[in-house]
Amino acid sequence: MTTQPDTTPRAIRIEGPLSARAVLDHFNDKGRALLGAGQQDAAGRIAQLLAHEADLSAAWGGLPGTDHPRHWQPEVGDEAALSDRRSEHRRLDVHLPLWWALPLAVRDRQPQRVVLPLAATREGLAALIRRHMPGAWWNATVHVTLEVETRVYWGARGAVHPHAAARHACAQRGDAGHPSLKLARLDGGRAVEAAMPDRPADPDVVLQVHPGVGWLVAVPQLCFERELTTAERWQQAVAAWWRRLQSRAGRASQRDRDPTWHARLEADEAWWAAQLGAAAGTAQALAREAKLGGALRPASRIATLPAAQRRQAQVIVIHGGLSSARSAYEAALDTPARAVAKAIEAGQPGAAGSIELRRDPGGQDSTAAGRERELAMAGVAAAFDASALSTAPPPPADAAHVWPGLPTLDERATWRFEHDTFLRIAQNVAHLVAAVRRQCIAGCPPDARRHIVLVAHSRGGNVARFALPALRRAFGKQGWTFAAVTLGSPHLGTHVFERVGRRWHGLAAAVGGLRHLGAPWMSRDTLAELVNLERGLAYDVPPGFHDVEPAGVDRMMRGRPATELPPGMWLVGSHWGPSAGIDVDNRTWDWLFEDMVGAEEESDGLVRRLSALGGRAPENDLVRAAPDRCPVQFDASPVFHTHYLVHEETRRQVARMLASALGLVSGNNGASCVAHEETA
């Protein structure tokens, strides 16, 4: 009788805390030869990538997401244990002082199984677990998990997106997944349940990698999670009941509030006041709205006029999570970032001085490469960070447009619904309905058109979706009708928060960005703060973000299918990728997609296209056959999640959808949707 030999590759175990310099030295000593003959060029590119990361680590005294915590947190030792305070100290993550390396020469997209040498025997694994478990937990029930954080330094690789080139030489850092293995459940220090009863002590994991040549680095992390005692469960149940009671009374606890919401509200108010030539809200009013968690503010000059002068249909723009109307719609606003957004779309340099970036001291680079790098950094900052906008004075109040990208919004009363996205969507909807009653409905002249369109991005689309029936119930009998246009909204839910809190994903994207753009524009302290932020969100995702997970959407639908949308909705989604319409080369796209998203699903980078379209098929082919037809579901591929209004063709389609929703086109979807909602 013969036994089948085990051909599963074994990673190389390296003792000692992980550091960027150690990875570089190990690759130069052994990795180049292990890659095999004919891979010298790929090995050279991998070495360049590792050397750049080592230089950053040396300059900053340690690099979060690349080095062991002892290198960038002086107070921790070799066996660094970090407790997440938001978990009430029930979770302890131990960064072991060892790491693994493995050469990769992958020919297809099949999952790759790898053995990771951790403990020679099962007794050794048990001793490793006991050595790191806190003494105070010995009498408690503790779940032990091994999480493996991975990254791959590629020298050549296949494409991620089907529109990209089939294969290319590169020097970029990617992700191979985040395997998680349940090791045991301990009760009184003894294993009462083992997840690996018939397996050797050394775990094997499945990696998701693309075809290519690269160098894999993996880091083990022991995760201990203590179960609550009976007394703690009662205490937690009472605290949760009290928070729910306060929430129903309109007073969410600070635990469920976005700590940046008040600051964003205040910072944007002055900007909007200058754009509209109107007085900014008083400090008392802003404080009251910040405490409430919602504010409906003017976003066009007509909205600042008395209610008796507003006779056209009205529009409310709604932003997504952790953003504001100004940052979510900056590509359509008259902002410095709009010039950069247009430059990104056209592939041309932006206006000089349009973006002000914070950089570490060390002089300026006036070379052509330096100017190109500045443009790239300006584009990323404009796309992802509203705080990167320069402090250049706004245009005068008598300027032609506030919304040059969507002129229809200048022609009517347009409002912006600023809201705390940590709150439940039901609370956001309640705040919106109350604000609409107070500012859009009250005082409306009898001859005014009683119609309101919600234009929403990302999570804001879910707010709009559930607000439509609430608004119709509240004001339908008064003759008011409502419609909505949503951009990249997770109507079927999104799994993005399953990836939030993974130190590797967030920090790898940041570190990869530094390498890719070629200059460190984030300090070490800023990167270190990301660790705490992401870990806190992973353990205690805000209620408002739970509501856009698939289970949250199902819960809010109360037994009805998630694909059942209210009538009068126009939907836009995308499968992000490189294209002639977006000036992002294939290599940049692959780096962004894999480092930032860590997945290969058909999404705009954050929300799947199928989810954004409510499970419906796009109508692009019908539009091509009949150009005058306005689509109800539009596939904006390959636009990124924050770039729907940057891309000219997509912006034109959004403008057509808005016109249809407003009923400005004869025989359009807007008229039919209004009739539908009146009979529904």
pLDDT at position 612 over 60: yes
In a domain, residue 1? The reply is no
- Provide the pLDDT for residue 4: 56
Do 277 and 144 share a domain, yes or no? no
In a domain, residue 407? The reply is yes
Q: Beta strand 212-226 with 80-83: parallel, antiparallel or unpaired?
A: unpaired
**Angle CA 640–530–595, to nearest 5:** 40
User: Which CATH number fits the domain that encloses residue 633?
Assistant: 3.40.50.1820
pLDDT at position 518 over 70: no
In a domain, residue 115? The reply is yes
Do 87 and 195 share a domain, yes or no? yes
Do 346 and 452 share a domain, yes or no? yes
In a domain, residue 383? The reply is no
In sequence order, what are the residues at sequence separation of 6 or more whose Cβ sits closer than 8 angstroms to the Cβ of residue 626? none
Do 489 and 513 share a domain, yes or no? no
319-365 pLDDT, tens per residue? 998 789 998 998 899 655 454 445 444 433 333 233 232 333 333 33
**Smallest Cα–Cα separation from 53: which of 22, 97, 13, 93?**
22
Task: Scan for tokens 């997106």, then name that residue.
Answer: 161
Q: Domain span at residue 555?
A: 261-362+396-499+541-679
Contact 152, 175 (CB under 8 A): yes
In a domain, residue 592? The reply is yes
Do 494 and 607 share a domain, yes or no? yes
pLDDT at position 511 over 90: no
Q: What percent of the chain has pLDDT over 70?
A: 70
Contact 609, 603 (CB under 8 A): yes
- Provide the pLDDT for residue 515: 40
122-140 pLDDT, tens per residue? 788 888 888 888 888 888 8
pLDDT at position 570 over 50: yes
Contact 463, 419 (CB under 8 A): yes
Do 175 and 318 share a domain, yes or no? no
Quote the pTM value: 0.66
Do 290 and 348 share a domain, yes or no? yes
Do 87 and 180 share a domain, yes or no? yes
Do 357 and 297 share a domain, yes or no? yes
pLDDT at position 207 over 50: yes
Give the tokens for residue 402. 């506030």
Can you tell me the distance from the alpha carbon of 428 to that of 546, in angstroms, rounded to the nearest whole number?
Answer: 14
In a domain, residue 281? The reply is yes
Do 558 and 450 share a domain, yes or no? yes
In a domain, residue 371? The reply is no
The tally of domains found in the chain comes to 2
C-beta atoms surrounding 573 within 10 Å: 31
452-492 pLDDT, tens per residue? 999 999 999 999 999 999 999 999 999 999 999 999 999 99
- Provide the pLDDT for residue 193: 65
Of 524, 557, 590, the position where a domain reaches its end is 524
284-332 pLDDT, tens per residue? 999 999 988 999 999 999 999 999 899 999 999 999 987 899 989 988 9
Do 161 and 283 share a domain, yes or no? no
Of 472, 491, 524, the position where a domain reaches its end is 524
Do 505 and 459 share a domain, yes or no? no
Of 472, 489, 524, the position where a domain reaches its end is 524
